[in-house]
Structure 1
Amino acid sequence: MHVSSQSRSCAFPGVRGGLNLRCCAAVTLAARLIGRGDKICVLLFTCLYIVSYLILTHFKKTAEFVTDDAEDATVNKIVLWLCTFTLSVAVCAVLLLPISILSNEVLLTFPQSYYMQWLNGSLIHGLWNLVFLFSNLSLVFLMPFAYFFTESEGFAGSKKGVMARVYEAAVLLLLLALLVLGIVWVASALLHDNLARKSLYDLWEYYLPYLYSGISLFGVLLLLLCTPFGLSRMFNVTGSLLVKPRLLEDVEDTLSCTTFEEESLSRKLKCGSTCWVKLNMEAMKKEYLTVQSKRIALEMRRKASPWQRNLGYPLAMLMLLALTVMCVLMVCFNVLELLLDETALPRGMEDPHLGMASFSMFGSLGAAVQVVLILYLMVSSVVGFYSSPLFTGLLPRAQDTHLTEIIANCVSLLILSSALPVFSRTLGITRFDLLGDFGRYNWLGNFYIVFLYNMLFAGLTSASLIKTVTWAVQRELIRAFERIQFVQESVKGQEESQVPLGTCRHTALDPSQHTPPLTLHPTQTSGLHRLPLTVSRSTVPFRLLLASGLSKIQ
């Protein structure tokens, strides 16, 4: 049987031809892996783009896209696509550290798996570089262009159309870029003279990283302010979404008050005006819809099961408290490491060696906890951002958010999310070093900045947590004392009003001071038992309460 030289080479690897064949196979496999990595990145970004588009279409104002002017509708659609791209980049930036940490643990668990060959360091490194590039592109070019594009109308004397608005937006963007370039160059000249000279010759290598370093520092400082406030607000937000136990919340009274308020607003909407004042029907309709949705939510909460009522709320509060305390403890431990070891400072890493060792001393469980803490910090920072007095107006509303507000929200979320990897590594939440250009920031190697940042975060978070817990306990104690006082006054009033059967109590009263008996129709007293807790029931006369009870008995 004739055997070819290629077959002999494959059968005997020691031969030079077999070695060449193995090298060719390795190169082919590497090319396939690189192509597969690009496909994975495209697939991931496509999924995030679809999710981001669905989110923005939920919040966008429909009237801006359904208009008689085809030019405005086209411009709004283009701007919405740019905002969707920016939001998808922001979500991808949030997932950078979780994907990297989980990929390392998967490679540790399955080191020789054939199905995990696509998961390697080059894929993760390329993903970090793409996120850094698209973040720069969105912050510096796409979002300013989108804003100028919505506000532009074309140059005077030019032909109207979409392209005229594109030209005007491009010119405004160029002028803004020159202005920012001049400001940053002057700042770099004041701080680093050599860097200022280089930025004139090499714009891409020195200017853009310097600019993005400033943007990242601003994002990290914004996270420092928003995250502690958001960690304290998470308890209130979670408590409003869950059903509290009956000991902490009386759903029946709140539902009764909400029902009365809804009926009152409904009557006002039907009348249209009062005797003296003409009502604002549009504002009242919005208020009516808000009260109606609140009433529906309260009815759903009243129908909650005892397990959901008595176990869901305490477990959620304990979980939030445990995550917050764990974050503070990890930051305190990182402060001690900074004092004892210089290698604890955040630094960049060019070649990630995935699958060599775990980034947590507790193994896979510790890595999973790190991922949960990173996502928890991001959610808390977003909650704190929208709860702060400065940015409350940016909170998006379903089907009622203008396009300029969508642009502002996308820029804000991108700044927060792109600073999240640096934020997590600076606080010591994870030991995964920053990849690519994320680790080239000038201020990362400064011990005093990193140490002061950790101390401020630990102090602000502890203060916010203590304040939230003490205020909650104080509020519940005051509410409990009010209920006890109301019960005591009610019992005392009933004892004083009791008259023995067969006897008549004669009291010498001045006829001028005699008070006629109180007579109320049952329809006027049917809602007295539904008075809210915020109204002190001791202020209601006892005769009125007694008449209400008699009407219910009848």
Structure 2
Amino acid sequence: MEADEVTIREQNFHSQVREYTICFLLFAVLYIVSYFIITRYKRKADEQEDEDAIVNRISLFLSTFTLAVSAGAVLLLPFSIISNEILLSFPQNYYIQWLNGSLIHGLWNLASLFSNLCLFVLMPFAFFFLESEGFAGLKKILEDLDEQMYIITLEEEAIQRKLNGVSSTVEYQTVELERELEKVKSKKTNLERRKKASAWERNLVYPAVMILLLIWTSFSVLLVALNILYLLVDETAMPKGSGGPGIGNASLSTFGFVGAALEIILIFYLMVSSVVGFYSLRFFENFTPRKDDTTMTKIIGNCVSILVLSSALPVMSRTLGITRFDLLGDFGRFNWLGNFYIVLSYNLLFAIMTTLCLVRKFTSAVREELLKALGLDKLHLSNNPRDSETKPSANGHQKTL
């Protein structure tokens, strides 16, 4: 009996070490990828060699850690779905013994823990640490206030002399012209990019991408509509308390691997559409990161935004019925997941808003792209009767028939 107990303890110990090693390796890969992504957008001018460099490095490492956690949260549900199908197809395979329910539960718990840690501790610390200029800020507080007041007074006088020498009207016009110039440069860059696109890309790739987006959006609306019907007739469709069969015991999709692959594609599509929609909001247009020209403050803000979106992805996917995989760890402990009216309202809101988007914007964009690809855009096909009543004349003015 004692030998059996020792053997069991050894097996548990080796299993825990193996799980910790796998989690560390997965996170290390995500951290390295996140580091290269952030350094690609980080402003190069911030890489000074003075005492503030330590502050920037600390903020950079914390932001990289947060982005890696966000990537892990995005991959959490797809990894769990594909792991369930692999365990179901190869239950006795020696080479996949490391892929088990304990590892999946551990990943969900770590993702929940690190998400809360980054959102409520690390990112606020990185922001205030950067704004207060880190350790240098503490030294500056201890400096002589009279000396600081003298320097500030000199700077104020210098700025005042500059303002007195420049007319306010000219300065306003200069600012406006600079803004207009930036807009023109941005439009010119987009036009040059479109001009360099080959005929194959314009006539085949772009319309194909638009059609794929239309298909995936329509398919997601269809799944949500079916989920609404399930909610009305079956209590197990609720995202909380469904009590699934467990990992590796039964397939969660009717079509097996094919259905699991479709679910994973839809989950990634939801994440991409959420990020694109977030940065498309007028309030966050200037928040979009730019290559080699993004300050650390903006990087911290972007990491927090992506963390919130990625952490909500598993809950959103399960609530909308995109997947039947049970939410594990703290992700499935939200009380509102068991409220029928909240879940039903969320599904109805998603279905209605997405359908309106398809009808009013997306389908018109696809129609225009298809007409351009087929060369029918020159026929001036339009549903507006006023468009057919006006034609441009040779001198550029419009004439009414």
**Pairwise TM-score range, normalised by the shorter structure:** 0.7 to 0.9
Is the contact between residue 70 and residue 310 of structure 2 (CA under 8 Å) also seen in structure 1?
Answer: yes
The higher radius of gyration belongs to 1
1:101 aligned residue (81, 103, 106): 81
Residue 132 of structure 2 is aligned to residue 152 of structure 1:
yes
Residue 271 of structure 2 is aligned to residue 378 of structure 1:
yes
Query: What SS does the aligned partner of 2:283 have?
Result: coil
C-alpha displacement at 1:280, in angstroms? Answer: 8.7
Is the contact between residue 348 and residue 438 of structure 1 (CA under 8 Å) also seen in structure 2?
Answer: no
Deviates more, 1:468-477 or 1:397-406: 468-477
C-alpha displacement at 1:538, in angstroms? Answer: 1.8
Calculate the TM-score normalised by the size of structure 2. 0.79
Residue 381 of structure 2 is aligned to residue 538 of structure 1:
no
Aligned to 2:23: 41
C-alpha displacement at 1:326, in angstroms? Answer: 1.0
Query: What SS does the aligned partner of 1:328 have?
Result: helix
Residue 297 of structure 2 is aligned to residue 408 of structure 1:
no
Aligned AA (2:32): I
Query: What is the CA–CA distance in structure 2 between the aligned matches of 1:351 and 1:470, rounded to whole Å?
Result: 38
Aligned to 2:222: 329
Is the contact between residue 349 and residue 436 of structure 1 (CA under 8 Å) also seen in structure 2?
Answer: no
C-alpha displacement at 1:132, in angstroms? Answer: 0.6
Is the contact between residue 243 and residue 326 of structure 2 (CA under 8 Å) also seen in structure 1?
Answer: no
Gap change, CA 1:360 and 1:538, over 3 Å in 2 = same
2:117 aligned residue (134, 137, 145): 137
Say how many residue pairs are matched: 356
Query: What is the CA–CA distance in structure 1 between the aligned matches of 2:377 and 2:86, rounded to whole Å?
Result: 56
Query: What is the CA–CA distance in structure 2 between the aligned matches of 1:478 and 1:49, rounded to whole Å?
Result: 44
Query: What is the CA–CA distance in structure 1 between the aligned matches of 2:205 and 2:126, rounded to whole Å?
Result: 44
Query: What is the CA–CA distance in structure 2 between the aligned matches of 1:82 and 1:156, rounded to whole Å?
Result: 19
C-alpha displacement at 1:131, in angstroms? Answer: 0.7
Encode CA deviations 1:513-546: one digit per residue, 9 max, x unaligned.
xxxxxxxxxxxxxxxxxxxxxxx7524279xxxx
Is the contact between residue 100 and residue 124 of structure 1 (CA under 8 Å) also seen in structure 2?
Answer: yes
Query: What is the CA–CA distance in structure 2 between the aligned matches of 1:458 and 1:33, rounded to whole Å?
Result: 44
Residue 247 of structure 2 is aligned to residue 354 of structure 1:
yes
Aligned to 1:436: 329
Aligned to 2:236: 343
Query: What is the CA–CA distance in structure 2 between the aligned matches of 1:157 and 1:138, rounded to whole Å?
Result: 23
Is the contact between residue 125 and residue 351 of structure 1 (CA under 8 Å) also seen in structure 2?
Answer: no
C-alpha displacement at 1:341, in angstroms? Answer: 1.3
1:467 aligned residue (343, 360, 366): 360
Gap change, CA 1:154 and 1:95, over 3 Å in 2 = closer
Gap change, CA 1:401 and 1:333, over 3 Å in 2 = same
C-alpha displacement at 1:128, in angstroms? Answer: 0.6
> What runs of 5+ residues in structure 2 fail to find an aligned partner?
142-172, 381-390
Is the contact between residue 125 and residue 352 of structure 1 (CA under 8 Å) also seen in structure 2?
Answer: no
Aligned AA (1:402): T
Aligned AA (1:419): A
Aligned to 2:387: none
C-alpha displacement at 1:286, in angstroms? Answer: 5.2
Query: What is the CA–CA distance in structure 2 between the aligned matches of 1:344 and 1:435, rounded to whole Å?
Result: 16
Residue 66 of structure 2 is aligned to residue 116 of structure 1:
no
Aligned to 1:300: 196
Gap change, CA 1:382 and 1:401, over 3 Å in 2 = same
RMSD between aligned residues: 3.4
Query: What is the CA–CA distance in structure 2 between the aligned matches of 1:310 and 1:476, rounded to whole Å?
Result: 9
Aligned to 2:339: 446
C-alpha displacement at 1:157, in angstroms? Answer: 11
C-alpha displacement at 1:433, in angstroms? Answer: 0.8
Encode CA deviations 1:242-299: one digit per residue, 9 max, x unaligned.
xxxxxxxxxxxxxxxxxxxxxxxxxxxxxxxxxxx98999768756764664454234
Superposition pairs of residues 160-175 of structure 1, within 5 angstroms = 160=140
Query: What is the CA–CA distance in structure 2 between the aligned matches of 1:328 and 1:406, rounded to whole Å?
Result: 33
Asked which structure has the greater RCO (Cα within 8 Å, sep 6+), the reply is 2
2:208 aligned residue (295, 315, 333): 315
Aligned to 1:64: 46
C-alpha displacement at 1:28, in angstroms? Answer: 2.7
C-alpha displacement at 1:402, in angstroms? Answer: 1.4
Is the contact between residue 139 and residue 411 of structure 1 (CA under 8 Å) also seen in structure 2?
Answer: yes
Is the contact between residue 74 and residue 313 of structure 2 (CA under 8 Å) also seen in structure 1?
Answer: yes
Deviates more, 1:26-35 or 1:407-416: 26-35
Encode CA deviations 1:353-412: one digit per residue, 9 max, x unaligned.
321101112211111111110010000000000001122221111111111111111111
Query: What is the CA–CA distance in structure 2 between the aligned matches of 1:351 and 1:32, rounded to whole Å?
Result: 28
Gap change, CA 1:148 and 1:346, over 3 Å in 2 = same
Query: What is the CA–CA distance in structure 1 between the aligned matches of 2:62 and 2:55, rounded to whole Å?
Result: 11
Superposition pairs of residues 5-16 of structure 1, within 5 angstroms = none
Encode CA deviations 1:163-208: one digit per residue, 9 max, x unaligned.
xxxxxxxxxxxxxxxxxxxxxxxxxxxxxxxxxxxxxxxxxxxxxx
- Matched-pair identity in %: 54
Calculate the TM-score normalised by the size of structure 1. 0.58
